[in-house]
Structure 1
Amino acid sequence: MSTVGYINVSLEIWGAILSFVFITSLYMGGDVKNRTDKVFFLILLCNSLLLISDAAAWLFKGHATAVSYWGVHIANFLVYVLGYLLMALFTEYLVGYLSIRIKISRRAAGFVWGLCAVGVILTIISQWNHMYYDFAENNIYRRGEWFWLSQFLGLIGTGVDISLLLIYSRELKKKELWVFLSYIFLPMLAMTVQMFIYGIAWLYLATTISIIFVYVSLQANQAQKQKLREMELEISKSAIMLSQVQPHFLYNTLLGIKQLCDSNPQKASEALEHFAYYLRGNLDTIAQKKMIPFEMEMSHVKDYLYLEKMRFDQKLTIVMELEYTDFILPAMTVQPIAENAVRWGIIKKKGGGTLTIKSEMAEENVIISVIDDGVGFDPLESKNDGKTHIGIENVRQRLMFQCNGTMEIESKKGCGTTVKIILPRKGMTNEYYCSR
């Protein structure tokens, strides 16, 4: 093997080792949680495999053995395929990173994935027509007549990335913008040099340096923000728990139990038991670090509704239509919505009304519906009425952060309100909860 070969192999092995160190750091640190983190994890893994494959290609070339023949063919094939995959993963990462700041279409990522597929197909075809490369005697790699096309596809993908950065540059800080641009232009410069000067694998080395730069400058910072976000959620859970235990609710409940002690001691005992369970459920929410089974959440909801039914009697009718219950969700999800429906919908209506809670499975999602036929409201007016709506917004944020769930609210004055909680079914079963 030539001196250039030894240099390439040494640099690429060290680059692969460094990438694996970052992979281990991300995994052991628990920083691979959301989609963007997972994509960056795959970028590091893909880059490591690419460097190892290219190093193997250098090691196998120049030998006439059967092992070298297959080794150099497989290694070079993987270099091309992993290169295209790395291109698509970076665009996916960029789109995901921008999506945290602003709603953005995935068309750009889809287009680059299409380029990746075209590149892989052409690489497969090249094994027969040698359009990208072929091998001379002793398994020596040679560029084919259409080698430039393999690089041109990469330049198109890079152009897409540059376009995204130009369009959404205002959504990024200067540091973030320069980091992404360095990832793009450093490999682009190396790619341009490599098209005319064959020797050291400048492109892969430049890509490795750029990925490390992204990790140090952005991804590590994102992980820190993620941890801060988790701390904020813990604080918000305490806030929602405190907001649920309103002084007037405590007073009215205890007063109702006191009155029952004289008229119906047995029912008073039942009410006191539900009240104790309700308070315990609120306190348990603070300590809860993971999602809970739906049945556990509904047990808390039923304790709350029992107490409200005790107070309002005929003014409150409760209907449960729980068709699907084998799933988990963030603690304190349904209860705040049910309380809102009772306090601001049904009780405000003359003569009261009905609260209906449904759970069902629809394709790949679980849908929980909390429906009341109370006074309703105008959603547009509600956003500008000066109220904080802490409980509902807290639920919405925790759904999005903890399980990628969403919440939809439909309401009309005089007709009532429907709140739908939509949870992705994948990974949300009780078996998943028990195994954690």
Structure 2
Amino acid sequence: MSVVGYINVSLELWGCVLSFIVAVCLFVGDRSRGALNRLFLRLLVCNAVILLCDAAAWLFKGRLDPVSWWGVRISNFLVFALGYVLLAIFTHYLTVYLGQHTRVSPVPLRLIRGMAVVSMALVVVSQFCDLFYRIDDQNVYHRQGWFWLSQVGGIFGMCVNAGLLVRYREAIERQESAALWSYILLPVLAMCVQIFVYGVALLNLAVTISILVIFLFLQVEQARRTKERELELTQMRISVMLSQIQPHFLYNALTTIKGLCATDPPQAEKAVDSFSLFLRGNMNSLTARRPIPFSQELTHCRNYLELEQLRFGERVKAVYDLPVTDFSVPTLTLQPIVENAVRHGITKRREGGTVWIATEETEGGWRITVTDDGVGFDPEKKPEDGCGHAGIENVRMRLENQCGGGLDVESVPGRGTTVKIDIPREGKPCEHDCVGRGRRAHRP
């Protein structure tokens, strides 16, 4: 083997080792979860296999034993075929990455997949008619006249990816864009050089460098954003807790208890117990980082309703239908929804109303339904105070982040509101999302 051959083998083996190291870091670091990281993991593995096969092709080159004879043919076939697979994986990765920031058309990915299938078919044909390359009687690889066509597919794919980056350039930051562009510009430059210069495996080296650049810039950036997200969730927990202990609620509850001390001391004592348990539940929510038993959340909700019933009397009624309670929910999932039903629903009516709380087991997990016959609202209309439906959105975000759950709101002005909370079983994230579009609320 020539000096150039030894240089190629050394570079490709080192690139293979680096790709596997990064892949192991992703897997061991528990960052292989999620569509984006799984695609990046496939990108690394596919690139490592291509590098290993190309190194094997150089090592087996010129040897006539049966293992080398088959080794050269299989290795070269895989290098060509997997190159198109690698391009399709990167396009999928790019589409998903951009999709985190904006809505991305699926057409480019379909084009690349179609191109990859056609190109791989041509590689198969080349094994019989020497379209792209041939292997002579000395077991040596030679380019053929149509070799340039094998590069056209790759260049076309890179142009499509470049179009994606140009089309959605406003959706990503400059640093992210530079890292993604490196995967396009470096391999395209290497492919153009390899069309005219044969000997050094520039394309494989360029692809490996580009993948490492993406890992260093984008994957590390993603870890930073994950930490920021955790901080945001912590601040949200504090915000949620503080929002539950509102001054007007404390004032009203204490005023009610004060009145009961003079008229009904036993009832006042019971109210003090409910009030203290309610405050303790809110304080516990500050430190709760994992879902809690639904029964615990239900107790917190009952304490809140007891205090409101002491204040409003018969105007606030509660009906429970709880055939299943043996599951967990993020803390402060039920109580804020029930509080919304009381404060913004039934107490806005002179005659008051009823809150229904029901649970059921579904095929994918459990569902909690909170229904009221209050004044209702238009889910599409922003509240007059300009704050939006902050309580609902906080609950929805914590459901999505802590257990993969979902929340759906159905409300009609004058009819009432129904909120459905879906809690998936472990390992089955809920794909249910978005606020309802004003469908009529039903009664349990």
Please classify the TM superposition score into its range, dividing by the shorter chain length: 0.7 to 0.9
- Tell me the amino acid that sits aligned with residue 90 of structure 1: F
For residues 103-252 of structure 1, what are the structure 2 equivalents within 5 Å?
A: 103-120=103-120, 123=123, 131-137=131-137, 139-143=139-143, 147-252=147-252
Larger Rg: 2
Call closer, same or farther: CA 1:318–1:16 in 2, change over 3 Å.
farther
Aligned 8 A contact 1:376 1:417 in 2: yes
Who is 1:44 aligned against?
Answer: 44
Higher normalized helix content (fraction of residues): 1
Residues 80-95 of structure 1 mapped to structure 2, 5 A cutoff? 80-95=80-95
In 1, Cα distance between the equivalents of 2:148 and 2:159?
16
Over 3 Å counting, the alpha-carbon distance change for 1:347 and 1:185 in structure 2 is same
Instruction: Please tell me the residue identity of whatever aligns with 1:13.
Output: L
Instruction: Describe the shift of the 1:63–1:325 C-alpha distance in structure 2 as closer, same or farther (beyond 3 A).
Output: farther
> How far off is 1:243 after superposition?
0.7
Per-residue Cα deviation, 1:16-37 (whole angstroms, up to 9, x for no partner): 2223333344445555554333
1:415-426 correspondence runs (5 A): 415-421=415-421
Secondary structure, counterpart of 1:354 in structure 2 = strand
Give deviations 1:80-121, integer Å, cap 9, x for gaps.
443233222222222222223223344433443444455455
How many Å separate the matches in 1 of 2:54 and 2:27? 25
Q: How does 1:28-427 map to 2 (within 5 A)?
A: 29-32=29-32, 34-120=34-120, 123=123, 131-137=131-137, 139-143=139-143, 147-253=147-253, 259=260, 263=264, 265=266, 275-292=275-292, 294=294, 296-321=296-321, 329-359=329-359, 368-382=368-382, 385-387=385-387, 389-403=389-403, 405-421=405-421, 427=427
- Cα distance in 1 for partners of 2:249, 2:146 equals 76
Q: Which stretches in structure 2 are left out of the alignment for 5+ residues? A: 430-444
SS at match of 1:317: strand
The 1:387–1:62 alpha-carbon spacing in structure 2 relative to 1, beyond 3 Å, is: same
After superposition, what is the alpha-carbon deviation per residue over 1:391-425, rounded to whole angstroms, capped at 9, x for unaligned?
A: 22322333444455544433332122233445665
Structure 1 residues 388 and 196, CA gap change in structure 2 (3 angstroms): same
Distance 1:216 1:309, change over 3 A: same
Specify whether residues 261 and 84 from structure 1 end up closer, same or farther in structure 2 by C-alpha distance, changes over 3 A only.
farther
On the 8 A contact 2:348/2:374 being kept in 1, the answer is: yes
Aligned-pair CA distance for 1:65: 2.9
Equivalent position of 2:9 in the other structure: 9
8 Å CA contact retained: 2:382, 2:388 = no
Deviation (angstroms), 1:366: 5.9
* Alignment check: 8 A CA contact 2:349 2:374 kept: yes
Which amino acid letter does the alignment assign opposite residue 284 of structure 2?
D
Cα shift at 1:250: 3.6
Q: What's the counterpart of residue 436 of structure 2? A: none
* Displacement after TM superposition at 1:377 (Å): 1.8
CA gap of 1:264–1:114, structure 2 versus 1, over 3 A, is: farther
SS in structure 2 of the partner of residue 163 of structure 1: helix
Q: Match of 1:387, SS?
A: coil
1:432 is matched with none
Report the TM-score when normalising by structure 2: 0.81
CA distance in 2, matches of 1:403, 1:111: 36
Q: Distance in 2 between matches of 1:251 and 1:220?
A: 49
Structure-2 separation of matches of 1:320 and 1:131: 74
Task: Answer yes or no: is the 8 Å Cα contact 2:399–2:405 preserved in 1.
Answer: yes
SS in 2 for 1:418: strand
How far did residue 235 of structure 1 move? Answer: 1.0
Judge conservation of contact 1:329–1:428 (CA < 8 Å) in 2.
Answer: no
Letter in 2 for 1:417: T
Separation of aligned partners in 2, 1:127 and 1:363: 50
Contact 1:240 1:390 in 2 (8 A): no
**Counterpart-to-counterpart distance in 2, 1:164 and 1:346:** 51
Following TM superposition, by how much is the alpha carbon of 1:241 offset from its aligned partner in structure 2, in angstroms?
1.1
**Following TM superposition, by how much is the alpha carbon of 1:214 offset from its aligned partner in structure 2, in angstroms?**
2.1
More moved, 43-52 vs 137-146: 137-146
Aligned CA distance change for structure 1 residues 275 and 80 (closer, same or farther; 3 Å): farther
Q: In structure 2, the residue corresponding to 1:161 is in which secondary structure?
A: helix
CA deviations on 1:355-402 (whole Å, 9 max, x unpaired) are 234555667686544332211123344256422543223223334444
Q: Is the 8 A contact 1:364 1:426 kept in 2?
A: no
Further displaced range: 217-226 or 69-78? 69-78
Match in the other structure for 2:432 = none
For 1:45, give the aligned amino acid: V
Aligned equivalents of 2:304, 2:212: Cα separation in 1: 52
Question: Per the alignment, do residues 178 and 248 of structure 1 end up closer, same or farther by CA in structure 2, a change over 3 Å counting?
Answer: same
Question: Is this contact kept in 2: 1:301–1:335, CA < 8 A?
Answer: yes
Q: Retained in 2: the 8 A contact 1:328–1:428?
A: no
Compute the RMSD of aligned alpha carbons: 3.6
Note closer, same or farther for the CA distance 1:9–1:365 as it changes in structure 2 (3 Å cut): farther
- C-alpha displacement of 1:131: 4.9
**Cα deviation per residue 1:180-201 (whole Å; 9 max; x = unaligned)?**
2222111111122223333222
SS at match of 1:382: coil
**Aligned 8 A contact 2:364 2:428 in 1:** no
- What is the percentage of aligned positions where both structures have the same residue? 46
- Could you tell me which runs of 5 or more consecutive residues in structure 1 were left unpaired when the two chains were aligned: 430-436
Kept after mapping to 1: 8 A contact 2:12/2:52: yes
Residue 348 of structure 2 aligns to a residue in which SS? Answer: coil
Q: Hey, what's the Cα distance between the residues in 2 that align with 1:196 and 1:17? A: 29
CA distance in 2 between partners of 1:108 and 1:384 (Å): 43
Distance 1:328 1:109 in 2: 39
For the 8 Å contact 1:346–1:372, the answer to whether it is kept is: yes
Call closer, same or farther: CA 1:381–1:79 in 2, change over 3 Å.
same
Structure 1 residue 205, shift from structure 2 partner? 0.8
